[in-house]
């Protein structure tokens, strides 16, 4: 993990997107969209369907190259990197949590969480041991050997969160992470996601339709018709 907090000078956001624009054909998916997030901070991105939330998340995470504006991660222009460098960056510095965790059914919970480490070249035993360490933090102690089919929806999503955190990312992106869960389970998963990311001094950028989920974050950014509204007030 890169440490952007070290060194002299004022702290700068770990990740920022400024004046981002993206068109798909004739659709203006984003224009004048900006968002910055600090280490240890969580930001929820809200807005109507089709307003550009996912496009903003994809631009910030280097999945999509914006047509205009810039994305800075740790002082590096993400939008100017080659596809190979962006792929490396996503693997090593970013973690992703999706609506459905997409765990591999033939692997145990701990092996699933260890997959990013194995893809980085770590040996299976070491990788699983490191993933195992995350399980108590996420309320998953004792479930390390279970197959995904033996986990509840909330447990499986927490294994997905462990997988997103196992490489100690600087930024975690979450797209509707509680979208497939009932309200109570969603609340538990959100609490764990926000607190674990904060404790690890990572930043969280979370897209959601659910105000209850968004309120768990430090700030809410509204996206309307491809624009972010003025950087909003801090939630409580």
Of positions 14, 37, 55, 186, contacts ligand ATP by CB under 6 A: 55
Residue from 16, 34, 54, 222 in contact with ligand ATP (CB under 6 A): 54
In the complex with ligand ATP, which residue's Cβ is closer, 69 or 148?
69
Q: 121 CB contacts (<8 Å, ≥6 apart)? A: none
Query: What is the distance of C-alpha 178 from the center of its chain?
Result: 13
Q: What angle do CA 204, 209, 210 make, to 5 degrees?
A: 85
Q: Closest separation between CB of residue 224 and ligand ATP, Å?
A: 10
Task: State in angstroms the smallest separation of the CB of 99 from ligand ATP.
Answer: 10
Q: Which of 6, 7, 9, 49 binds ligand ATP (CB under 6 A)?
A: 49
Q: How far is the CB of 146 from ligand ATP (least distance, A)?
A: 31
Q: Identify which of 94, 63, 100 has the alpha carbon closest to the alpha carbon of residue 112.
A: 100
Give 53 or 163: the residue with its C-beta nearer to ligand ATP.
53
Find the part of the chain contacting ligand ATP (CB under 6 A) among 22-30, 75-83, 86-94, 140-148. 22-30
Q: How far apart are CA 219 and CA 234, in angstroms?
A: 5
CB of 49 to ligand ATP, least distance (A): 3
Closest distance to ligand ATP from the beta carbon of 176 (Å): 8
Report phi then psi at 69, rounded to 5. 85, -175
Residue with tokens 């003025």: 230
- Cβ count near 71 (within 10 Å): 24
Q: Please report whether residue 47 would count as binding ligand ATP according to CB under 6 A.
A: yes
Instruction: State which of residues 42, 51, 61, 157 lies at the interface with ligand ATP (CB under 6 A).
Output: 51
Kindly give the residue spans of alpha helices, DSSP state H, lying in the chain: 53-60, 83-93, 109-119, 124-134, 153-165, 183-199, 211-214
Residues that bind ligand ATP (CB under 6 A): 24, 27, 29, 47, 49-55
């Amino acid at each position: 993990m890169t440490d952007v907090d070290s060194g002299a000078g004022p702290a700068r956001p770990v990740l920022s997107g400024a004046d981002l624009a993206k068109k798909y054909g004739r659709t203006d998916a984003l224009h004048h969209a900006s968002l910055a997030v600090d280490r240890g901070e969580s930001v929820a991105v809200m807005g109507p369907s089709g307003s550009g939330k996912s496009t903003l998340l994809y631009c910030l995470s280097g999945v999509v190259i914006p047509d205009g504006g810039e994305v800075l991660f740790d002082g590096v222009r993400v939008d100017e990197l080659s596809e190979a460098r962006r792929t490396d960056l996503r693997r090593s510095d970013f973690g992703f949590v999706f609506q459905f965790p997409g765990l591999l059914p033939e692997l145990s919970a701990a092996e699933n969480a260890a997959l990013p480490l194995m893809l980085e070249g770590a040996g299976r035993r070491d990788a699983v041991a490191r993933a195992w360490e995350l399980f108590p933090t996420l309320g998953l102690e004792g479930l390390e050997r279970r197959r995904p089919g033996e986990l509840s929806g909330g447990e499986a999503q927490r294994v997905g969160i462990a997988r997103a955190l196992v490489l100690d990312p600087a930024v975690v992106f979450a797209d509707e992470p509680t979208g497939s869960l009932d309200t109570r389970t969603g609340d538990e998963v959100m609490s764990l996601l926000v607190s674990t990311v904060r404790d690890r001094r990572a930043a969280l950028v979370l897209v959601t339709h659910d105000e209850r989920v968004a309120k768990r974050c430090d700030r809410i950014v509204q996206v309307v018709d491809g624009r972010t509204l003025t950087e909003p007030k801090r939630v409580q």
